[in-house]
């Protein structure tokens, strides 16, 4: 009834950054990133990627509320790195990995469809 | 079930044969049987079919004998159907026939059975205790039982082993299957609902299984040759008995038969279960002797069927002859003796059986059918599959079972057992239980077969005392209830009398018990479990309400009277009245309580699962009134069945009766001018109903003509003579008036009020006349006048009828004066006189609280109140004060003056308790009246006064003060320089005497003396305050001051101040009293539903009356006094630095305030409010802080904080906490939601009516201030939360979000911080307090404390982010860690103790941990506690899984840094398969990788448990699992170097602690060890 509109789930409102960064005042090398209009899909994958990073001491995300369409990712790193760096790296790595996945998939698909067309 | 019927009937034809078999002793069974069967009750058809086959058969019903309400599940249709379907007598076809019949029947049987079960089931009661959702626990239990049975058997075998010959083995084998069958029975109980549908197929399968199983297991299970018999003949163990007996009867000695069973050391339950069977089989032999016909028949039948089904006719004949010849009397005797031993313990199982089906016989048969099959099944699943030595697993399973059934539910189980036990009790006509002597035991034995009669099939049975044995004395409850529907009026009346006397007895006995001695009821035979009897009688099963309601419609006067008496007992009118009577004497209570039973709403996560939710009515108020709507609405008639009524009555019997329309019937009965006793009964019933709940009271008001009729009957016989029912009528009207202001107005406007109180205004006759009229008349008139005065008081409390006081005063004045005692004593009417006087002063008390403020009035002149209520005028007060002051001259009052000569050594002359008591009541009401007057004379607003002083003092103020001083109320021993012994020489003070009385006397005197004390202290405080306000006069005249007498000086200095020492002593003695009180009160609330029983009993059936006992009342009164004293001696807190003693004392004060909070009942909202104010003020918090610091510096392992709280922080905490606690615990649930289309005007009005109840939370003790009277003088339990649960102060930290509708934004972090501080303070405090003042905080289970700490974190990390609260939090963790180490036996039952879905909570907590914690150490420690070995397995598993999924296993600190010692996490070694699997899974999935590198506690856990499981406890039972785990570990390892390292660690792991041996040794042994381990791994991979 008074649920938010559907588009709220993916349209970032004007004047709001997609990703905002907030440093944690109490702990060194810790920060939280608020990503607007995303949910577990992104949250989980980013977190798991962050977990692979040796320098990341803590990485967690949460969806504050099912009807608030944003996630908050918290990162705590060693002094060798910084949350921002770790976050960027994780994103880049994910990007590459997914690219790779996509290419591999397409290549395979092409091979497969090629072989199929050859068959017929 | 139907199937059983089938079989039962089918076996009939064989009966004669069997009788020949067993009828060794020339019994004329036929005679007996025909005798019994021959009595034909009216309404039973004499079914010729059955008659022809066997006269013993109970007649089948075709018509119901009495217009019993019917539900479609009732009635004989099913039995008729079955009867029709099986006319086949052919034995050969029997088996097949069975199965088909069974299947057919199954479709019919299900719904009927299920419905029925619902009726019998008590489980609705336990909703809050245990909502049994899934079938998983059932499944578990069943397994447990099966295993148990195996074990039992094992034990038995062991026992037999050393005894000699093989003959005994046979017995073992016989027994084992039997026990299994019993476990089946039990299991059926548990899964009854599912079972009903399953059974038929099961049975079928099992039948076939028997063959296979028996052969399979033959070797392993039954090593004796008898087993071959077993297999060959495909016979049941039961028949096996017979055969075996033949073989062994020669060499079995009776003693040997007896011995083994006694030796077997299995737990009680297990021991109980087997007994049923013994007794059925052995009791049977007995029966043959005893010619107990009725039960014999089914016994034989049962035997029959069991045997004959599998035997050929030849075999039968053979067995016949063999048994006939071979059974020696000696053997029979031995067997019988053993049976008796067992019988004593068998009651539980009997009741189980009874509850299962409508007839025990059927149940029994079912057992027999399943028995071999189940034994086969169990042996197949456990013995065969898991090989012979599956000990450890079985052990574990057995352990799991008790764990699963929570403490609460085990409590529940024992309770329901107790209740079920009542089923078998037989009562004599005066309500006594017949002690089962030997003969009775026999009866019990036979009866179990028959006891399952319910209202459905009662008609199948012969009438009167026919549960099994016509010779048995007395009746069971159900028999009695059934008998109320007899066709013979005499029987009905008799039955009703019986029920009434049972209930009366139960009521009295319950009342005599100790409050709070719950559940310690040993199953000893000598004491009778009256609580259980009460619960059973009122419970849903006997359908008592329905029978009573029907009986009330009877057209025989005697039956109606008996019924009214029974209803009166059901509603426990008399005892409730006596409670209310005392409660009304207490001046501080202006409100009564509704008696409707209530239960607490379930705790939810928002309130941190804390107990102590809002009370709710057992029956929804909207369910009580049904008939109003429905008579209009034809449609809904169809929807409501009598079943609904019964359900309502089962929840709350009074509500059920009202719902069944008892009121119109009573009205009718009253109109027909009933006999005086009946009228009295009816009116008491009405009183009880009016006290029940607002809805019921409204129903009375709204019932046409009812109130009018009562009033008319009062006025009808206008004579001066007074009947008891007149008194009751006044009482009824008073109660009705109390319920609602509206009713009161109505009664006044109708003129009913005047009609019933005219006695008060009667000519002012003299006391002499009254005394001369004779003692009996005095008694009656006193009782009447008291009630009338109370009625008046109610009106005055609502603010009406005050203007009539001048008319009333002349007639009252004779009572208000101090009488000439000798005359009263001479005529022995002093008690009656005192009752009136006391009541008159209470009336004045009520009036006094209606006084306008003295100074206000003086300044502003008479102010007309805008309300239609009236105020009392000061002009009338003067003479009354004079009269009252006369009463304070205690020295001149005989009896009381005697108190003053009392001294500690004893030797005060002893009066009759009751007389002292009544005089005390007078004094207490006088005191309260005076204090109210003084309160009215105290200016509201001190600052507005000139100079802060009152211009002048009304002269009565010093007068009262002086009288108090002169009459030795206090000893003033502390007054400086004064000769304290001029006139109080050698004597204690009145205060001291009261204190003594409080400790030494009975309940009522204790209450009255406490009230007296309270009144006295109040008066003294008020006088002091007023004099202090007027003091400047004294100061001006300091010259005169020296000339003052001692009394005046005391007055000037303040009485309170002068007697501080005495008051201190008073306070400490009451603090002691309180510390006994609170545990009592806390222990009352055992079950979710307010008490153990439904209905409206005394304290809802809890022992000693529970909340409705004088004990409770007394405790609450004590709490009140303590509160008042604490409040008035607060300045003790003001001091800053303290010596040890002072610390101790202040701690005690804090402690007792906390305790007093827990005593306060629903009426004491104001008290709790005050107490919270006292507790939560800055000085107290400072003391707590001081205590914490001392605690930290003195205890080992704690370091003091490096910071200090600031003043503002204390202030903040005080504010935040007190608002929180008040909101949380004192708020009243407002039902603002209008209930849909509900047309009940009065219902709605009532809900509104509950709103103004909030007035009780005002600061004044008496909520009645001028102009805003309450609309009701009766409190509801429902919609509020008091009594506080024991862990109430945890609410501050374990609340996430407690009231959705409170708009004020509450900072939960602040509350939590305050709460943590407060908790630590109290914890620290508890270490300083002496043992006898045991702190309540120590009584809270550690689970709750740990849980509360976790809940704080669920809301957010705020608490941990702030440095101070973080330290406090960590300290608390350490404190609890120490506690954990100290009591290292008890387990942490999070799931069963706190909430059944605790795993969900854990998941949320872990999620929170994973998302926002940054791996905070304190948080991690908190989470890690759930991995502690003593946490129950499901919670541990849930925690581990959640952690593993969230990939946060690495965030834990090393094990040493966790709460409590690391050992607790490691030992004993994990044996739960699922958890071990979960460990391996997270290992394999890589979740542990980082944990390994970071040395977090989780990795250590895994290493330890896995390595000990894989390498150390090598036994076959766990081989499969071990292999599986090892394989997956190894398979995973080559992929990653990291894992290889981990695996190496695992292999090399050795618990580091016992490392005392030289290193070389270790190294070498390690080498060997490693070799072994590799070997093991290799093995487990089976060469792969």
Least confident range of B668-682, B1316-1330, B1509-1523: B1509-1523
Helices assigned H by DSSP within B449-602: 477-483, 489-512, 530-538, 544-552, 557-570, 573-585
B556 vs B475, more confident: B556
Residues A47 and B1446: their CA atoms lie apart, in Å, by 10
Say if residue B676's pLDDT is above 80: yes
Average pLDDT, chain B: 67
- Cα distance from A120 to chain B (closest Cα, Å)? 41
Q: Which residue among B1361, B1407, B1414 places its CB closest to the CB of A58?
A: B1414
Say if residue B1367's pLDDT is above 50: yes
**What is residue B443's predicted lDDT score, i.e. its pLDDT?**
40
Q: What stretch of H or E contains B245?
A: helix B237-248
Q: Which residue among B1411, B1414, B1448 places its CB closest to the CB of A62?
A: B1411
Whether residue B1414 and residue A27 make contact (CB cut-off 8 A), yes or no, is yes
The Cα angle at residue B1415 between residues B1409 and B1419, in degrees rounded to 5: 60
Please identify which residue in the block is written with the tokens 């086969």: B376
Q: What is the DSSP letter of B1103?
A: G
Cis amide bond preceding B769, omega within 30? no
Partners of residue B1361 in chain A, C-beta under 8 Å: 26
Minimum CA–CA partner of B1408 in chain A: A62
Q: List phi, psi (to 5°) of B1048.
A: -65, -35
Whether residue A60 and residue B1412 make contact (CB cut-off 8 A), yes or no, is yes
Say if residue B1421's pLDDT is above 70: yes
The reply to whether A40 touches chain B by the CB within 8 Å rule is no
Burial B1433-1463 (b: 16+ CB within 10 A, else e): bbbbbbbbbbbbbbbbbbbbbebeebbbbbe
Minimum CA–CA partner of A24 in chain B: B1414
pLDDT tens digit string along B1254-1306? Answer: 333 333 333 333 334 567 778 887 788 877 888 888 888 877 764 444 445 56
Say if residue B842's pLDDT is above 60: yes
Are B975 and B1050 in contact by the 8 Å Cβ rule? The answer is yes
Q: What is the pTM of this model?
A: 0.72
Residues in chain A: 120
Quick one: pLDDT band at residue B915, thresholds 50, 70, 90? confident
- Cα distance from B1538 to chain A (closest Cα, Å)? 13
Are A31 and A23 in contact by the 8 Å Cβ rule? The answer is yes
What residues form DSSP beta bridges with A31? A23, A75
**What is residue B255's predicted lDDT score, i.e. its pLDDT?**
40
Minimum CA–CA partner of A76 in chain B: B1414
pLDDT tens digit string along B158-216? Answer: 344 433 433 333 333 344 444 444 444 444 443 344 433 344 444 444 444 433 443 34
The reply to whether B1411 touches chain A by the CB within 8 Å rule is yes
Say if residue B946's pLDDT is above 80: no
Least confident range of B94-103, B522-531, B795-804, B1387-1396: B94-103
Burial B844-856 (b: 16+ CB within 10 A, else e): bbbbbbbbbbbbe
Task: For chain B, give the percent of residues with pLDDT over 70.
Answer: 57
Are B1054 and B967 in contact by the 8 Å Cβ rule? The answer is no
Partners of residue B1414 in chain A, C-beta under 8 Å: 24, 27, 30, 57-58, 74, 76
Whether residue A57 and residue B1415 make contact (CB cut-off 8 A), yes or no, is yes
Q: What value of ipTM does the predicted structure carry?
A: 0.90
Quick one: pLDDT band at residue B1442, thresholds 50, 70, 90? very high
B1493 vs B564, more confident: B564
Please identify which residue in the block is written with the tokens 């019986």: B498
- Most A CBs within 10 Å: which of B1353, B1411, B1416, as the mutation test of the A interface? B1411
The reply to whether B1412 touches chain A by the CB within 8 Å rule is yes
Handedness of CA B1308, B1310, B1315, B1320 (dihedral sign): positive
Residue range B1039-1064: average pLDDT?
71
**B1245: how many CB neighbours lie within 10 A of its CB?**
14
- Cα distance from B1489 to chain A (closest Cα, Å)? 10
- Cα distance from B1476 to chain A (closest Cα, Å)? 25
**What is residue B695's predicted lDDT score, i.e. its pLDDT?**
87
Say if residue B1422's pLDDT is above 80: yes
Residues B507 and B516: their CA atoms lie apart, in Å, by 16
**What is residue A82's predicted lDDT score, i.e. its pLDDT?**
92
Residue A30's region, left for phi above 0, alpha for psi from -120 to 50, else beta, is beta
Take residue B536 and report the two structure tokens written for it.
């059973």
Residue range B1495-1504: average pLDDT?
88
Take residue B690 and report the two structure tokens written for it.
């009016």
Q: How far is CA B289 from CA B346, B361, B608, B614, B847, in A?
A: 22, 21, 64, 60, 78
Helices assigned H by DSSP within B309-383: 313-326, 329-343, 347-356, 360-378
pLDDT tens digit string along B1016-1025? Answer: 888 888 888 8
The reply to whether A45 touches chain B by the CB within 8 Å rule is no
Residues B1422 and B1426: their CA atoms lie apart, in Å, by 8
Residue range A58-86: average pLDDT?
91
The reply to whether A74 touches chain B by the CB within 8 Å rule is yes
Residues B1071 and B1333: their CA atoms lie apart, in Å, by 8
Whether residue B1414 and residue A48 make contact (CB cut-off 8 A), yes or no, is no
Take residue B1200 and report the two structure tokens written for it.
């003091």
């Amino acid at each position: 009834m008074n649920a938010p509109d559907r588009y709220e789930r993916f349209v970032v409102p004007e004047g709001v950054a997609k990703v905002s960064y907030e440093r944690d005042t109490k702990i060194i090398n810790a920060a939280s990133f608020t990503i607007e209009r995303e949910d577990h899909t992104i949250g989980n994958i980013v977190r798991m990627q962050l977990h692979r990073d040796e320098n990341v001491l803590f990485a967690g995300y949460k969806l504050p509320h099912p009807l608030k369409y944003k996630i908050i990712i918290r990162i705590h790193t060693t002094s060798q790195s910084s949350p921002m760096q770790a976050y960027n790296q994780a994103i880049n790595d994910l990007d590459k990995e997914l690219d790779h996945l996509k290419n591999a998939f397409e290549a395979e698909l092409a091979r497969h469809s090629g072989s199929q067309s050859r068959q017929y | 079930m139907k199937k059983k019927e089938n079989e039962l009937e089918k076996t009939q034809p064989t009966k004669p044969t069997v009788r020949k078999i067993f009828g060794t002793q020339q019994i004329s069974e036929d005679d007996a049987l025909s005798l019994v069967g021959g009595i034909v009750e009216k309404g039973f058809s004499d079914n010729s079919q059955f008659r022809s086959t066997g006269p013993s058969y109970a007649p089948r019903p075709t018509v119901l004998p009495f217009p019993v309400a019917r539900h479609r599940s009732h009635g004989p249709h099913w039995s008729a159907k079955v009867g029709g379907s099986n006319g086949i007598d052919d034995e050969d076809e029997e088996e097949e026939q069975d199965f088909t019949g069974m299947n057919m029947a199954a479709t019919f049987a299900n719904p009927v059975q299920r419905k029925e079960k619902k009726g019998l089931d008590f489980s609705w009661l336990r909703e809050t205790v245990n909502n049994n959702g899934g079938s998983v626990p059932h499944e578990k239990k069943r397994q447990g039982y099966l295993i148990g049975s195996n074990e039992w058997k094992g034990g038995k075998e062991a026992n037999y082993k050393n005894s000699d010959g093989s003959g005994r083995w046979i017995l073992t084998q016989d027994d084992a299957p039997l026990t299994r069958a019993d476990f089946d029975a039990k299991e059926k109980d548990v899964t009854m609902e599912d079972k009903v549908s399953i059974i038929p197929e099961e049975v079928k399968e099992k039948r076939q299984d028997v063959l296979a199983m028996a052969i399979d297991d033959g070797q392993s299970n039954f090593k004796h040759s008898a087993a071959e018999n077993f297999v060959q003949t495909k016979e049941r163990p039961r028949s096996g008995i017979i055969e075996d007996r033949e073989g062994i009867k020669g060499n079995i000695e009776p003693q040997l038969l007896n011995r083994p069973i006694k030796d077997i050391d299995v737990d009680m339950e297990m021991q109980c279960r087997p007994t049923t069977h013994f007794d059925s089989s052995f009791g049977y032999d007995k029966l043959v002797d005893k010619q107990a016909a009725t039960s014999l028949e089914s016994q034989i039948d049962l035997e029959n069927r069991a045997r004959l089904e599998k035997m050929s006719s030849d075999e039968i004949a053979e067995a016949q002859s063999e048994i006939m010849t071979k059974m020696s009397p000696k053997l029979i005797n031995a067997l019988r003796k053993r049976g008796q031993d067992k019988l004593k313990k068998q009651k539980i199982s009997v009741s189980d059986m009874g509850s299962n089906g409508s007839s025990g016989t059927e149940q029994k048969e079912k057992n027999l059918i399943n028995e071999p099959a189940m034994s086969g099944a169990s042996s197949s699943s456990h013995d065969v599959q898991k090989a012979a030595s599956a000990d450890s697993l079985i052990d574990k399973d057995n352990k799991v079972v008790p764990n699963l059934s929570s403490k609460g539910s085990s409590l529940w189980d024992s309770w329901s057992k107790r209740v079920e036990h009542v089923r078998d009790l037989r009562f004599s006509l005066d309500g006594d239980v017949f002690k089962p002597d030997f003969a009775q035991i026999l009866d019990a034995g036979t009866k179990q077969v028959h006891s399952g009669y319910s209202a459905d099939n009662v008609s199948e049975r012969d009438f009167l005392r026919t549960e099994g044995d016509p010779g048995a004395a007395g009746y069971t409850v159900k028999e009695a209830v059934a008998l109320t529907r007899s066709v013979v009026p005499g029987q009905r009346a008799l039955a009703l009398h019986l029920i009434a006397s049972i209930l009366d007895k139960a009521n009295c006995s319950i009342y005599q018990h100790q409050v709070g001695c719950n559940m310690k009821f040993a199953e000893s035979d000598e004491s009778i479990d009256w609580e259980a009897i009460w619960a059973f009688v009122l419970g849903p099963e006997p359908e008592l309400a329905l029978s009573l309601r029907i009986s009330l419609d009877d057209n025989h006067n005697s039956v109606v009277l008996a019924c009214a008496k029974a209803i009166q007992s059901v509603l426990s009118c008399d005892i409730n009245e006596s409670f209310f009577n005392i409660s009304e004497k207490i001046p501080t209570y202006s409100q009564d309580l509704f008696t409707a039973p209530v239960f607490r709403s379930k705790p939810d996560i928002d309130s941190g699962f804390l107990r102590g939710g809002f009370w709710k009515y057992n029956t929804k108020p909207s369910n009580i009134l049904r008939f109003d709507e429905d008579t209009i609405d034809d449609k809904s008639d169809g929807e409501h069945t009598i079943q609904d009524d019964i359900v309502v009555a089962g929840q709350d019997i009074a509500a059920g009766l009202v719902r069944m329309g008892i009121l119109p019937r009573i009205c009718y009965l009253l109109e027909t001018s009933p006999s005086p006793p009946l009228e009295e009964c009816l009116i008491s019933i009405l009183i009880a109903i009016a006290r029940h709940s607002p809805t019921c009271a409204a129903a009375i008001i709204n019932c046409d003509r009812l109130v009018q009729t009562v009033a008319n009957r009062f006025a009808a016989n206008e004579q001066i003579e007074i009947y008891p029912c007149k008194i009751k009528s006044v009482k009824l009207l008073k109660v009705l008036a109390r319920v609602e202001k509206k009713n009161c107005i109505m009664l006044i406007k109708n003129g009913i009020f005047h009609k019933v109180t005219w006695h008060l205004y009667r000519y002012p006759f003299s006391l002499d006349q009254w005394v001369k009229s004779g003692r009996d008349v005095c008694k009656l008139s006193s009782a009447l006048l008291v009630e009338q005065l109370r009625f008046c008081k109610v009106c005055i409390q609502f603010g009406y009828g005050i203007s009539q006081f001048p008319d009333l005063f002349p007639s009252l004045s004779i009572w208000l004066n101090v009488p000439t005692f000798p005359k009263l004593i001479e005529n022995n009417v002093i008690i009656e006189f005192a009752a009136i006087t006391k009541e008159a002063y209470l009336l004045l008390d009520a009036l006094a609280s209606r006084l306008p403020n003295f100074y206000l009035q003086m300044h502003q002149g008479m102010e007309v109140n805008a309300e239609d209520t009236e105020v009392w005028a000061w002009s009338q007060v003067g003479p009354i004060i004079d009269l009252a002051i006369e009463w304070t001259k205690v020295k001149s009052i005989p009896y009381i003056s005697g108190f003053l000569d009392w001294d500690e050594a004893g030797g005060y002359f002893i009066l009759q308790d009751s007389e002292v008591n009544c005089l005390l009541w007078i004094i207490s009401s006088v005191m309260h009246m005076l204090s109210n007057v003084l309160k009215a004379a105290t200016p509201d607003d001190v600052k507005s006064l000139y100079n802060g002083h009152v211009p002048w003092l009304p002269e009565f103020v010093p007068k009262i003060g002086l009288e108090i001083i002169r009459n030795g109320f206090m000893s003033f021993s502390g007054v400086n320089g004064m000769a304290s012994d001029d006139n109080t020489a050698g004597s204690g003070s009145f205060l001291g005497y009261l204190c003594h009385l409080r400790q030494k006397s009975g309940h009522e005197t204790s209450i009255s003396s406490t009230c007296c004390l309270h009144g006295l202290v109040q008066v003294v405080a008020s006088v002091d305050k007023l004099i202090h306000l007027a003091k400047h006069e004294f100061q001006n005249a300091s010259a005169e001051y020296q000339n003052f007498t001692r009394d005046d000086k005391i007055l000037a200095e303040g009485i309170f101040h002068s007697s501080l020492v005495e008051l201190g002593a008073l306070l400490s003695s009451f603090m002691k009293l309180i510390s006994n009180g609170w545990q009592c009160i806390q222990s009352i609330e055992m079950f979710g539903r307010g008490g153990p029983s439904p209905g409206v009993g005394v304290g809802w059936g809890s022992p000693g009356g529970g909340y409705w006992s004088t004990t409770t009342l007394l405790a609450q009164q004590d709490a009140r006094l303590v509160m008042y004293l604490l409040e008035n001696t607060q300045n003790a807190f003001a001091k800053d630095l303290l010596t040890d003693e002072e610390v101790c004392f202040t701690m005690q004060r804090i402690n007792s305030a906390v305790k007093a909070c827990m005593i306060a009942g629903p009426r004491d909202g104001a008290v709790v409010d005050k107490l919270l104010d006292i507790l939560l003020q800055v000085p107290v918090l400072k003391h707590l802080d001081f205590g914490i610091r001392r605690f930290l510096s003195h205890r080992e392992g704690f370091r003091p904080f490096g910071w200090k709280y600031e003043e503002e922080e204390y202030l903040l905490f005080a504010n935040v906490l007190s608002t929180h606690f008040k909101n949380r615990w004192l708020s009243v649930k407002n039902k603002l939601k209008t209930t849909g289309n509900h047309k009940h005007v009065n219902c709605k009005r009532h809900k509104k009516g509950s709103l103004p109840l909030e007035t009780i939370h005002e600061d004044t003790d008496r909520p009645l201030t001028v102009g805003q009277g309450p609309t009701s003088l009766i409190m509801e339990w429902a919609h509020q939360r008091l009594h506080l649960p024991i862990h109430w102060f945890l609410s501050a930290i374990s609340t996430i979000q407690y009231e959705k509708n409170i708009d004020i934004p509450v900072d939960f972090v602040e509350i939590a911080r305050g709460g943590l501080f407060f908790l630590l303070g109290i914890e620290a405090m508890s270490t300083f307090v002496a043992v006898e003042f045991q702190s309540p905080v120590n009584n809270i289970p550690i689970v709750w404390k740990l849980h509360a700490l976790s809940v704080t974190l669920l809301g957010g990390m705020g608490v941990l982010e702030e440095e101070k609260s973080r330290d406090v939090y960590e300290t608390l963790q350490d404190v609890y860690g120490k506690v954990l180490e100290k009591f290292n036996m008890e387990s942490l039952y999070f799931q069963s103790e706190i909430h059944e879905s605790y795993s969900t909570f854990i998941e949320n907590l872990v999620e929170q941990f994973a998302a926002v914690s940054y791996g905070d150490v304190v948080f991690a420690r908190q989470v890690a506690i759930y991995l502690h070995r003593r946490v129950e397995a499901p919670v541990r598993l849930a925690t581990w899984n959640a952690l593993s999924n969230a990939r946060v296993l690495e965030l834990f600190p090393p094990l040493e840094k966790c709460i409590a010692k690391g050992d607790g996490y490691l030992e004993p070694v994990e044996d739960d398969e699922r958890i071990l699997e979960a460990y391996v899974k997270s290992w394999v999935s890589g979740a542990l990788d980082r944990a390994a590198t970071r040395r977090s506690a989780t990795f250590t856990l895994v290493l330890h448990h896995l390595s000990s499981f894989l390498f150390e406890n090598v036994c076959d039972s766990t081989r499969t699992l071990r292999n599986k785990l090892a394989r997956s570990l190894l398979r995973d390892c080559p992929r990653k170097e990291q894992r290889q390292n981990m695996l190496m660690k695992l292999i090399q792991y050795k618990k580091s602690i016992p490392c005392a041996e030289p290193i070389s040794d270790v190294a070498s042994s390690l080498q060997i060890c490693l070799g072994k381990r590799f070997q093991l791994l290799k093995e487990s991979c089976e060469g792969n």
